[in-house]
Amino acid sequence: MNPAAPNLLSARLTVSYPGKNPVLNGVELEIAEKEIVGLVGQSGSGKSTLALAILGLLANKHAKVEGEVVFQGINLLQLSQRELRNLRGNKVSLVLQSPLSSLNPALRVQTQLREAWRAHRDTNHAKCESAIESAMASVSLPFARDFLRKYPSQLSVGQAQRVLIAMAVMHRPALLIADEATSALDVITQSEILELFARLNRDIGTSILYISHDLPSVAGICQRIAILHQGQVVECGTAAQIFQSPRHPYTRSLMSALPRIPSRTEGPPAKTKAATN
């Protein structure tokens, strides 16, 4: 973390469900202003639970959330649901894994963008259209009638993900939470979305919590990385430290699982005896 940058968010959380062991057990996470932090862990480690807890979206899941989530000096766990709704999509935004299921299939792209704007701003038409045009430009999508009148089913997965991101950054949030936001994309589109996140961080100054199990994508975008294992952050450090000199046994096992590309001098794999018979 840049020591000159103040904390935007500081969380210390325990999340549990009745009759079960805690999903998160004293997790601690800090994100500085204008910083991209990666959160890595295997499926079921509690990554998405942490994202939902930060946003106050576990109230209807019978979860017990303890601790604190201090965002811009305010403990979000002490806010009412109305106050949290005013915060979500405005100062803190979320981009989920599946864009085609996150968008409303019955509404045109333009309608959904307008609703995203009007949820937190006045209904002035000119201001709304200007905000939509700016958001679409920021994600390299056309501000054109033919495109805006499409339904989500008429978009590619990559286009739908960009629409979601446009909605998420329309109000220039201080924090963007991307929860497996590239895992459903092909390699080329994934690379484009990662570059988009980096550009939004650079141009708008939005901090990003990038949640993923895909280590190469985390290495390509994050300044710091937190490793989540069995409901706890077991290691947190710079990207270089995590990838080059991991300290915790679980982090070392993650790094050892990275795919290795054989060098040209290694030649093809040796044939087994059975294969030569």
According to DSSP, the residues that pair with 27 across neighbouring strands are 13
pLDDT band, residue 252 (cuts 50/70/90): very high
Mean of pLDDT values over 44-50: 91
In the DSSP assignment, the letter for residue 88 is B
Q: Which amino acid is at 132?
A: I
CATH superfamily for domain 7-252: P-loop containing nucleotide triphosphate hydrolases (3.40.50.300)
pLDDT band, residue 262 (cuts 50/70/90): low
145 vs 152: CA distance, rounded Å: 15
Q: Which residues fall within 8 angstroms of residue 97, CB to CB, at 6 or more apart?
A: 179, 180, 181, 183, 184
**What residue spans define the domains of the chain?**
7-252
C-alpha distances (whole Å) from 107 to each of 102, 144, 150 are 12, 17, 9
Phi, psi for residue 227 in degrees, rounded to 5: -105, 120
- pTM for the full predicted model: 0.88
- Among 36-40, 96-100, 146-150, 217-221, name the one with the lowest average pLDDT: 96-100
* Per-chain mean pLDDT for the chain: 88
158 vs 148: CA distance, rounded Å: 15
Let me know: does 11 contact 49? Beta carbons within 8 Å. Answer: no
The pLDDT, as a whole number, for residue 208 is: 97
Mean of pLDDT values over 96-119: 90
pLDDT-above-70 percentage for the chain: 92
The pLDDT, as a whole number, for residue 276 is: 45
91 vs 74: CA distance, rounded Å: 12
Tens digit of each residue's pLDDT (9 = 90 or more) over 127-149: 899 999 999 998 889 999 999 99
pLDDT band, residue 275 (cuts 50/70/90): very low
The pLDDT, as a whole number, for residue 277 is: 46
Q: Hey, what's the torsion of the CAs at 118, 123, 125, 127, to 10 degrees?
A: -70
Mean of pLDDT values over 163-181: 92
